[in-house]
A and B are shown apart, each in its own frame.
Chain A
Amino acid sequence: MQQVERFKYDDGIVRKFTIATLAWALVAFLAGIYIAFEMAYYKLNFGVPYITFGRLRPLHTNAAVFAFAGNAIFAGIYYSMQRVLKTRLFSDKISKFHFWGWQLIIVSAALTLPFGFTQGKEYAELEWPIDIAITVVWVAFGYNMIRTILQRRVKHIYVAVWFYIATFVTVAVLHVVNSLSIPFSLIKSYPVYAGVSDALVQWWYGHNAVAFFLTTPFLGLMYYFIPKSVNRPVYSYRLSVVHFWTLVFIYIWAGPHHLLNTAVPDWAQTVGMAFSVMLWIPSWGGMINGLLTIRGAWDKVRTEPVVKFLAVATIFYGMATFEGPLLAIKSVSEIGHYTDWIIAHVHSGALGWNGFLSFGMIYYLVPKLWNTELYSKRLANVHFWVGTLGILLYLIAIYTAGITQGLMLREVSDAGRLAYPDFVSSVTRIIPLYWIRGVGGLCYLGGFIVMLYNVRMTVKLAAKNPGDTEDEAVPYQAKESTADPHGGFSHRILEAAPMVLTVLVVVAIGTGSLISLAPMFASSSIVEANYKAQMLKPYTALELAGRDIYVREGCYTCHSQMIRKTVSDVLRFGNPSTIEESVFDRPFQWGSRRIGPDLARVGSKYPDLWHYRHMMNPQEVVNGSIMPSYGWLFKDKIDYAILNKKLDVMKSLGVPYSENDVETAEDRARSDAAKIAEGLRADGAQVKDDSEILALISYLQRLGGAK
């Protein structure tokens, strides 16, 4: 018989992550509210590049996902994992490295995104040096976790921990594969994928960032903190096991549902759609499991703020995962895609599920971590109600906005004409709703500030130096338990074996990834053959410079470049986009939201002077526009000197530039720019030969006319 061991949990690291969660949540919410009001009132960027919508939106999403949710996940994982495994974390040093490394990554994101250093892919905007740092820190986290599991003092690995393992493994794979790029400067790079391949990889990543960063870890937390807060075991452990395996297996396939009706091969769209619909099963299984765990303790929903937040979070999980598969049906996507409907969908997940679950968890954690009682339950209830009101205002406004715009844009009269040929009329219609959304955001923030105060007071009134919690357990030795009648061979080789579990997760996500990314290879070979036959010309050096400005400014946050195969898209914007047309696009810029019109065929639609005036002052050219003005593009200079290097990197990626193209890139760009400038001056505009606007105009004029 083995001796009982006494040991301490590392609570310090959990306290750190908890405080970081609160701090970054504030940043994420403020940035979100600011861009919400920029939509309502376009002048709010005050002509300052660093806070224009296109640059601030990525900051908001990154702060929400990686800073707020990220730190919340780490706090919750480190707290719960130690306790269900009855062991201190493997290494205090690695935990600290993980913590400070992650904060440093967030700070560098906040310092690069406003300056336009972006890869131009949603939720993967961060540039290559930060990507490398993320990989290192993430692996440290995973290593720390796996070693902790291996030194556990219990036989079983509680199901929450499986969800954590899946999170670690999958996010690592997604991040590395999607971020592959070739640098052309100390900060900037071009992705190794182009066009449709880039789109498929990006949405394989994007969708699963939601799945494995915002869903699986939070489900793990749900499976720990709900039983904890109502003091009863999960309703059905069996169901949680089935939930786990089906979710991990299915999620990875669903990416192409972000690309419905586009140029992506039909069969990939069908797979994405089918698997999304199947996601209903595990998602609802999980939600019901969570809610039924609370059953019989419903009185606590009324009295305990923690349970209140957790219960409502679980309900939002159910709502968002009910809606997701619906939106993944082609005909629904036709209306919802590119509109605020998707933004509403995301926020029912982000504000309701991730936000409320984190808040519930923090209200649970703070008193435990500081050895005290929560300062005020009443204030926590206030937070709950104000926050809920905020979510409702947000959702009602933005669902209405999305569905209104979606229906307006696709309405075709009996005569076969667009009912609202003016894109901007669908924008002006929903502006009032943007104000309401902003107010909803303010409420949500207000509730959160009440929480900050509550936490602050709790900590202030607690004893100083809270220290680490002590516990005791008997060491567990895997070999000894071979004779264990409960265990059984089948159990040992899977559910009690972290490595086997990890490998199986890899197989599950690997299968889906390979099969759903296979069309990428197939289609890119077809495309290559096609464009050789058609002799499509790659971007000129000046166009490329302009394209990089387009990426830098985040024009893709408001403009798509993908005309779908739908009646209204074709009537409005021209022939459907083809795979060939984006074959040189690194990164692809198909976009996901149309706050402005599609730009895939905007080339030659207007004279240069139109663009010149429009970029300077959109409202002067188009009445009611909410596009910000880009005054700085007229003052800032094109970086001609780097163009040779840029073309060289593109050439190494297989773009058909000749040696000569690369060597003369700078000179040609200068003379192309001078020509455009001359034309503009002839029309009475004032412009210098090296003004960035020239490059942007040359890029915009090229769109849709690649031949």
Chain B
Amino acid sequence: MIRDVLSQLHWSTLPIVSMLLFASVFVGAVIWVYRKNSKAIYEEASLLPLDRPTVKGGHHE
């Protein structure tokens, strides 16, 4: 039954729907990384791989 439904759909609109989906993921991700507070968080996170004295659970003032 589900197959019947699927085979009736008009697939040619799907590429456009998919494109829009991608565009929103992309724009969403960009907005997300520029959200408030993100600068401090990302700076802190980006230092994690580097060797430096480890003090206070994850904070490095």
Q: Which residues of A contact B (CB under 8 A)?
A: 2, 80, 83-84, 86, 153-160, 223-224, 227-228, 231-234, 237-238, 241-242, 245-246, 249-250, 253, 265, 267-268, 270-271, 274-275, 278, 281, 471-477, 481, 486-488, 490-491, 495, 508, 511-512, 515, 518-519, 521-526
Docked Cα-Cα span, A227 to B6, in Å, equals 48
Q: Give the Cβ gap from B24 to chain A, nearest Cβ, in Å.
A: 10
Are B54 and A241 in contact, with the CB atoms below 8 A? no
Query: In whole Å, how far is A496's beta carbon from the nearest beta carbon of chain B?
Result: 9
Chain B residues lying within 8 Å of A474, measured Cβ to Cβ, are: 54-57
What separation, in Å, do the CA atoms of A238 and B32 have in the docked complex?
9
Q: Which residue of the partner chain, among A158, A487, A491, contacts B48 with CB atoms under 8 Å?
A: A158
- Assuming the A-B contacts A84-B49, A486-B44, are A522 and B7 also in contact, with contact meaning beta carbons closer than 8 angstroms in the complex? yes
Complex contacts, B4 vs chain A, CB 8 Å: 525
- Shortest CB–CB separation between residue B25 and chain A, in angstroms? 5
- Measured between C-beta atoms, what is the minimum distance from A567 to chain B in Å? 24
Measured CB to CB, the nearest residue on chain B to A272 is B15
Q: Do the beta carbons of A278 and B14 come within 8 Å of each other?
A: no
Determine the distance from Cα of A153 to Cα of B48 in the docked complex, in whole angstroms: 11
Q: Are B45 and A156 in contact (CB under 8 A)?
A: yes
- Cβ of B9 and Cβ of A486 under 8 Å apart? no
- Whether A472 lies near B36 (C-beta < 8 A) is no
- In residues 21-45 of chain B, which contact A (Cβ within 8 Å)? 21-22, 25-26, 28-30, 32-38, 40-45
Could you list some 19 contacts between A and B, CB below 8 A? Answer: A84-B48, A154-B57, A155-B58, A159-B45, A160-B49, A227-B49, A227-B50, A242-B26, A246-B25, A267-B15, A472-B54, A474-B54, A474-B56, A486-B41, A490-B37, A491-B41, A511-B21, A519-B11, A521-B2
Which residue from chain A places its CB closest to the CB of B36 in the assembled complex?
A488
Number of B positions contacting A (CB below 8 A): 45
Which residues of B sit under 8 angstroms from A518, Cβ to Cβ? 6, 11, 14
A238 near B49 with CB under 8 A, answer no
| Cβ B19 vs Cβ A274 within 8 A | yes
A271 and B18 contacting across the interface, CB-CB below 8 Å: yes
Bound form: Cα–Cα A523–B42 in Å: 46
* B49 partner, pick from A224, A245, A490, A519, beta carbons under 8 A: A224
Contact B50 A521 (CB under 8 A): no
Contact surface of B with A, Cβ cutoff 8 Å: 2-4, 6-7, 9, 11-12, 14-15, 17-19, 21-22, 25-26, 28-30, 32-38, 40-51, 54-59
Beta-carbon contact of B7 and A525 below 8 Å: yes
Partner of A281, one of B19, B26, B41, B47: B26
Decide: B50 and A228 in contact? CB cutoff 8 A: yes
A8 to chain B, nearest CB (A): 14
When the two chains form their complex, are residues A271 and B14 in contact, meaning their CB atoms are under 8 A apart? yes
**Given A84-B49, A274-B18: A2 and B57 within 8 A (CB)?**
yes
The answer to whether A265 and B25 touch across the interface, beta carbons within 8 angstroms, is: no
Which residue among A86, A228, A238 has the maximum number of chain B CB atoms within 10 Å of its CB?
A: A238
Which residue of B30, B41, B43, B54 contacts A473 across the interface (Cβ within 8 Å)?
B54
Contact (Cβ within 8 A) A490 B35: yes
- For B30, list chain A residues within 8 Å (CB): 242
Known: A249-B25, A522-B3, A522-B11. 6 other contacts (CB 8 A): A231-B51, A237-B46, A246-B22, A267-B14, A274-B19, A481-B57
